[in-house]
Amino acid sequence: MEFQFQFDWQAAIDSIPFLLEGIPYTLLISFGGLLIGFALGIFFGLLSINKRWFLKWPATAYIEIFRGTPILVQVLFIFYGLPDLIGGPINHLTAGIAAIALNSGAYISEVVRGGVQSIAKGQSEAGLSLGLSRTQTFWSIIWPQAFRRMIPPLGNQAIVSIKDTSLFSVIGVGELVRQGQIYIANTFTAFEVYFVVAILYLAITLSLSMILRWVERRGLVSV
C-alpha cells in the first residue's frame, strides 16, 4: 500500500487571516491573567515566608492546590462549576483570565519566595543598621535584588501561560487553537492548519523570549 501526502501550502496560507483573529484573545487571556497572577504571586509568596502560621498556611494551601491540579480542570471548574455556586454564568474570557491568574499566581508565589529567600540576611542587617525600618529595608534593598533574580523564572512562567491558553478551546474561547478548530471543521485541512497554529505560537513565544532576555540584561546592569 503506497502512502502519499502532499502538504497544501495554499491551504496553510489561506488559513492565516482567520487564525490571526484568535491571537488577540490568546494575548488578552495570557497577559491579563499574568498581571493578576503576578499580584497574587507577590501576596501569597510573601505570606508563605511569614512566620505566623495563620498567614503562612492559607498561602501554602493556595499554592499546593493550584500547582497540584491541572489548569484544564481549573478552567472547567471555573466555567462550569462556579456558576452553580454563584447562581449565574461566567463569561468565557473571564473564566480563561481567572484560570491563568490563579494558576500562574501559585507558581509565581514560589518564584517570589525563592527570590526573596535567596538574598543574604546581611542585606537586611545592613539596611537596619542604616536606620531603615524593616518595611523600608525590604522594599528598598531586598526586593530590587530579589526581583532581578526572578526575571528568568517569571519569563518562563509567562511562556508557559501563553501555551496553556491553547487548552481553553474546551470552553469556547476564540483563541488561536479554537480558531483553528473552526477553520478545520469547514475545510478539512487539519495538518496544514495545526502546522500554522504551531508556527504562530512559536513566533509569539520566541518574540517574548527575546524581549525577556533583553530585559534580563538591562536588569542585571541597572539594579
- Give the pLDDT confidence score for residue 222 in this predicted structure: 45
Using an 8 Å Cβ cutoff, are 162 and 30 in contact? yes
Question: Is 100 domain-assigned?
Answer: yes
Indicate whether 205 belongs to any domain: yes
The pLDDT value recorded for residue 190 is 92
User: Is 9 domain-assigned?
Assistant: no
SS3 125: helix
Q: What is the CATH number of the domain that holds 78?
A: 1.10.3720.10
Position 35 in a domain: yes
Alpha helix stretches (DSSP H) within the chain: 9-20, 23-48, 53-68, 71-76, 82-86, 92-117, 121-129, 134-137, 143-164, 176-187, 190-222
In a domain, 8, yes or no: no
Nearest to 207 by CA among 26, 13, 15: 26
**Locus of grid cell 502546522:** 195
Please tell me the pTM assigned to this model. Answer: 0.91
pLDDT score recorded for residue 4: 66
Q: pLDDT of the chain along its 223 residues, tens only? A: 556 678 888 989 999 999 999 999 999 999 999 999 999 999 999 999 988 888 899 999 999 999 999 999 999 999 999 999 888 899 999 999 999 999 999 999 999 999 999 998 888 888 888 888 888 998 889 999 999 889 889 999 999 999 999 999 999 888 999 999 999 999 889 999 999 999 999 999 999 999 888 877 775 544 4
The rounded distance, in Å, linking the Cα atoms of 174 and 148 is 35
Tens digits of per-residue pLDDT, 26-45?
Answer: 999 999 999 999 999 999 99
Structural domain containing residue 29: 17-222
Q: How many domains does the chain have?
A: 1
